[in-house]
Amino acid sequence: MGANNFDRRGFLITGCAVAAFAATPIAAATPRDAEKLITRLTKDINKSIEARSSDAALFVQFEKIFRKYADVSTISRYALGADARSATKKQLSEFGDVFITYIARKYGSYFKDFIGGEITVLGSRTVKKYFEVKTSTKLRGQEPMEVLFHVSDRSGSLLLFNLYVEGVSMLLSERNEIGSMLDKRRGDLDKLIADMRALTAG
C-alpha cells in the first residue's frame, strides 16, 4: 500500500513537472508579435491584389495566405459546431481542407473589391486571452473600414483565429452558413464535403 502511495506521488510529481514544462512557452507572445504577424499578412494580401492577376489566381494566393497565417483546423472545427463532435478524424480533416478553399474564395472576393485600397495596421492590444490587431482600409468616398484580427498562440504557434469586418465576425457568420448547408443536406457531412469540393473546384 505504501509503495502504491509512493508511486502515485511519484506520478503526480512527474506529471506536474511535465505540465510545468509544457506550460512554459518558449517565448511568451506579445501584442507586438501579433501586430507583426498581421502586418506580414496584410502585406501579402496587398501584394496579391496589386498583382491584378485573374480571380482564379488571386483565390489561390489568398488560400496560401490563409493556410500560412490562420489556425485552419480550429476555425473549421468551430464552423462545424456541434456536428464536429460526431465527425470522424477523416471527415474533420477533409472538411478542414475544403473549408479553407471555400473561405479563401469568399473572403478573397470581399477583399478584392471592397477593400481595393491598402490595408493599414493601426495597433494591437491584449484582450483577455488573445490579441487583437486593428486595421483600417480606405474606401472611396467613405469612412475607412475597420477590420479586427484576433490572434492567439494557443495552438502552439501564433495564428489568426477570427476576424471582424465592421463588427461582423467571420466565425459566427461561417458557423451559421455551414449549419444551414448541413441542414439542407440533413446533417450529411460527407455530402457537404463533396458538394463544397465541387463548388470550389471551378
Partner 1 sequence: MRGLKIVLMSFCLTGLVACAQPGAIDEINDPHEEQNRKTHELNKAVDQAVLKPVAQAYSDVVPDPVEDAVSNFANNLGMPSNVLNHLAQGEVGYAIESTGIFLVNSTVGLGGLVDVAGWNGQYAHATDFGETLAKWGLGEGAYVELPLLGPSTERAALGKVLDSVTNPLSGLTAEPEGIATAAKIGEVLSDRVEYGDVIDQTLYQSADSYSQARLFYLQSRRNQLGYQFEGEDALFEELYGREQF
Site residues (CB under 8 A) for partner 1? 19-20, 22-23, 74, 78, 106, 109-110, 112-114, 127-130, 140-144, 152, 154-155, 161-162, 164, 166-169, 171-173, 176-177, 180-181, 183-184
Quote the least distance from Cβ 181 to partner 1, whole Å.
Answer: 4
Q: Cell 469612412 maps to which residue? A: 143
Q: Decide: residue 138, CB within 10 A, 0-12 exposed, 13-18 middle, 19+ buried.
A: middle
Q: Which three cell numbers stand for residue 64?
A: 496560401
* Identity of the residue, 65 or 115, whose beta carbon is nearer to partner 1 in the bound complex: 115
Pick 6 or 110: Cβ nearer partner 1: 110
CA separation for the pair 185, 142 (Å, rounded): 41
Amino acid at site 110: Y
User: SS3 of 124, please?
Assistant: strand
Minimum distance, C-beta of residue 1 to partner 1, in the bound complex (Å): 30
Q: Least Å distance between CB 106 and partner 1?
A: 6
Identify which of residues 17 and 57 has a Cβ nearer to partner 1 in the complex: 17
**In the complex, what is the shortest distance from the CB of residue 190 to partner 1, in angstroms, rounded to a whole number?**
17
Look up residue 113 and give its DSSP letter. I
Spatial distance between the Cα atoms of 119 and 186, rounded to a whole number of angstroms: 40
C-alpha cell, 47 = 501584394
Considering beta carbons, is residue 56 or 168 the nearer one to partner 1?
168
Choose between 4 and 129: whose C-beta lies nearer to partner 1.
129
Q: Count of CB atoms within 10 A of residue 117's CB?
A: 15
CB of 128 to partner 1, least distance (A): 7
